[in-house]
Structure 1
Amino acid sequence: MPVSENLRGILLMCASMAAFTINDTFMKSVTLTLPLFQTIGLRGLIAVAGLALLCLATGAFRFRPNRRDAGLILLRSLADVAATVFFLEALLRMPLANLSAILQALPLLITLGAAIVYGDRIGWRRMTAILVGLAGVLIIIRPGTEGFDRWSLLGLASVACVVVRDLSVRPLQGQVPSALVALGAAVAVTLMGWTGTLFQGWQSPDSGEAAKVLGAGLFLIVGYLTSVSAMRHGDVGMVAPFRYTSLLWAIVLGLFVFGDLPDGWTLLGAAIVVGAGLFTLWRERQLRRRPG
């Protein structure tokens, strides 16, 4: 594999994590003054438009999924709806870096979920890494202390929904366009936002709020596109660890935009989770290199 391809994949992954975190920053900022579901609906219109144009450009709309694949896409979309609501409700009330630290457990839990649902083999080393990573999550949320509240639980619920979302697409046929799958989720989340607006109410956004929603939508599209492209360039074992750069972006943006800096326990827990995740990725790479 040429080094240039690995470098391209790494840069795309870093760009993806930056884009998603900037989107989160815009959403956290605008939902301080604008109703949550209205914001989701408005951002969703931008994301749906961008992904629909991508589907048109790539011919994705010509694909007709069978009943099984359509059901998996629906399951993924519903899981994405739940993950979005839980995540944004938590984000509205938690420091960005703290919530991002909880999300770093995703690779570990996806590995565990694949073993439970699909029977993937996990050796004792990776199982130990998963347990260590979960211990790191407990350090971050610290149940039973003043730092623990129900918003931490919403963050964990969001992680669980993302695990379901990501595992649901594994059985999809290889020819199912990624853009079509992403569009299905974006449509579902947007419909949920506008439905919620009927109950939560509508507030006319001012120019600043409109600009933030537009920024969130545009960076969400960039995040989708670069995350898909990242996994198509370079070695997965080389590219995937750079997902953890999202935590660095969250710390920096949380500090400069909201004045939030995670405490020592949160940083310690995040370091444990990231370390366990990196070991798991390294171990999987080693196993793939073994002959037959």
Structure 2
Amino acid sequence: MNRRFRLPSGQRGGAGDNLLAAALMVASMAAFVFNDTAVKVVTQTLPLSEAIALRGIVVTAILWAIAQRDGGVVWWPKGQRDRIMLSLRTVAEVSSTLVYLLALQLMSLGQLSAVMQATPLLIMLAAAVVFRERLGWRRLSAVGVGLVGVLLILRPGTGAFDASAILAVVAVVLIVVRDLASRGFTPAVRSSTVAFYAALAVTLGAPLTGELGDWRWPMGGEVMGLAISTVFLTIGYLTAVAVMRVGEVGFVSPFRYTALIFAFLVDLAVFGVWPAGWTWFGAGLVVAAGLYSIWREARLQDGSR
């Protein structure tokens, strides 16, 4: 297991800690799905750019407060490498968020969530290329299986493949860039600063989605939807951080795929959409490939071949 996730005095990684971490991971995935649901509902009547801006103002304020408790925001990192990584990550964060939310307006929540599950596999592949991390044929094969799963979900060459499918793929690629940039920071840059920059940049980038002339004062239901989105987004961020402080990464990572279950159930309950058979099959391949990669990584960490 990666040592940087261990707590002092060896007081983590027990059965109780892992169960708590698993519960936190499930809560985090549910919170992110409910946030997406609230955004999708609100943006049926409210311009997407306005929804992003209003929600972003509140989230940015919350992250500002957290950063102050952590020693304050570092507005301009001293090291050139950190400045480059912060700029790259911020641009990727804004781009991925806006593209993802545009795709969310056009696709079912379950289908988009299924495509997003391929992100860890692509990050693993990109890390092997960029950082020269070792990637054996088994995990490389798992990446290939996961990509086949994505193709089955999107089905290029059929009526199911349209502009929304392209947006989903672009969002995944941008998220990979964002996460790789995150690994390039030196310890001098605190996570709270990075999170604050991301939230602020996304808020300021909201007008890029257009419809500025349609902005208006939100109605009661829209305000409630934005409030629900903000609450769940904050819960998602906090629980995602807490997971890494409590349990073993190898144990809790598989619970990340509960997002698919929540997405499919919410799609049915809120939007009356049930995934097509190809989506189920493709999602199954993506999840299976991801779980195998996690298991294989754990074997390698234990010194097994």
Give the TM-score, by structure 1 length.
0.95
User: 1:275-290 residue pairs with structure 2 within 5 A?
Assistant: 275-290=288-303
- Whether the 8 Å CA contact 2:74–2:189 is kept in 1: the answer is no
Match of 1:4 in 2: 16
Q: Secondary structure at the match of 2:205?
A: helix
**What CA distance in whole angstroms lies between the structure 2 residues aligned with 1:237 and 1:98?**
26
Q: Tell me how far 1:154 sits from its aligned partner.
A: 0.3
Match of 1:127 among 132, 137, 140: 140
Whether 1:137 aligns to 2:158 is: no
Task: Quickly say closer, same or farther: Cα 1:228–1:60, change in 2 above 3 A.
Answer: farther
Match of 2:50 in 1: 38
Match of 1:58 in 2: 70
Higher mean displacement: 115-124 or 171-180: 171-180
Q: Secondary structure at the match of 2:245?
A: coil
Higher mean displacement: 113-122 or 226-235: 226-235
Match of 1:18 in 2: 30
Q: Tell me how far 1:83 sits from its aligned partner.
A: 0.7
**What CA distance in whole angstroms lies between the structure 1 residues aligned with 2:216 and 2:75?**
39
Match of 1:260 in 2: 273
Higher mean displacement: 221-230 or 120-129: 221-230
Q: Tell me how far 1:57 sits from its aligned partner.
A: 2.3
**What CA distance in whole angstroms lies between the structure 2 residues aligned with 1:63 and 1:272?**
43
What does the per-residue CA deviation read over 1:54-111, in whole Å, with 9 as the maximum and x for residues that have no partner? 1122324379732321321221111011111111111101110000000010110000
Whether 1:207 aligns to 2:220 is: yes
Match of 2:260 in 1: 247
What does the per-residue CA deviation read over 1:152-185, in whole Å, with 9 as the maximum and x for residues that have no partner? 1100100000000111011212353222211110
Higher mean displacement: 77-86 or 59-68: 59-68
Question: Mind listing any 5+ residue stretches in structure 1 that lack a counterpart?
Answer: none
Whether 1:146 aligns to 2:159 is: yes
Amino acid at match of 1:168: A
**What CA distance in whole angstroms lies between the structure 2 residues aligned with 1:123 and 1:97?**
31
Whether 1:190 aligns to 2:190 is: no
Match of 1:232 among 242, 245, 257: 245
Q: Secondary structure at the match of 2:133?
A: coil
Amino acid at match of 2:51: T
Whether 1:27 aligns to 2:55 is: no
**What CA distance in whole angstroms lies between the structure 2 residues aligned with 1:161 and 1:145?**
25
Match of 1:176 among 189, 212, 216: 189
Question: Mind listing any 5+ residue stretches in structure 2 that lack a counterpart?
Answer: 1-12
Identity %: 46
- Whether the 8 Å CA contact 2:94–2:205 is kept in 1: the answer is yes
Q: Tell me how far 1:8 sits from its aligned partner.
A: 2.0
What does the per-residue CA deviation read over 1:180-224, in whole Å, with 9 as the maximum and x for residues that have no partner? 211110000000114656845412210100111111112111111
Whether 1:48 aligns to 2:57 is: no
Amino acid at match of 2:301: R
Match of 1:111 among 101, 116, 124: 124
Task: Quickly say closer, same or farther: Cα 1:277–1:190, change in 2 above 3 A.
Answer: same
- Whether the 8 Å CA contact 1:46–1:214 is kept in 2: the answer is no
Q: Tell me how far 1:226 sits from its aligned partner.
A: 1.1
Give the TM-score, by structure 2 length.
0.91
- Whether the 8 Å CA contact 2:73–2:192 is kept in 1: the answer is no
Task: Quickly say closer, same or farther: Cα 1:198–1:151, change in 2 above 3 A.
Answer: closer
Task: Quickly say closer, same or farther: Cα 1:191–1:63, change in 2 above 3 A.
Answer: closer
- Whether the 8 Å CA contact 2:267–2:273 is kept in 1: the answer is yes
**What CA distance in whole angstroms lies between the structure 2 residues aligned with 1:235 and 1:221?**
23
- Whether the 8 Å CA contact 1:83–1:158 is kept in 2: the answer is yes
- Whether the 8 Å CA contact 1:63–1:176 is kept in 2: the answer is no
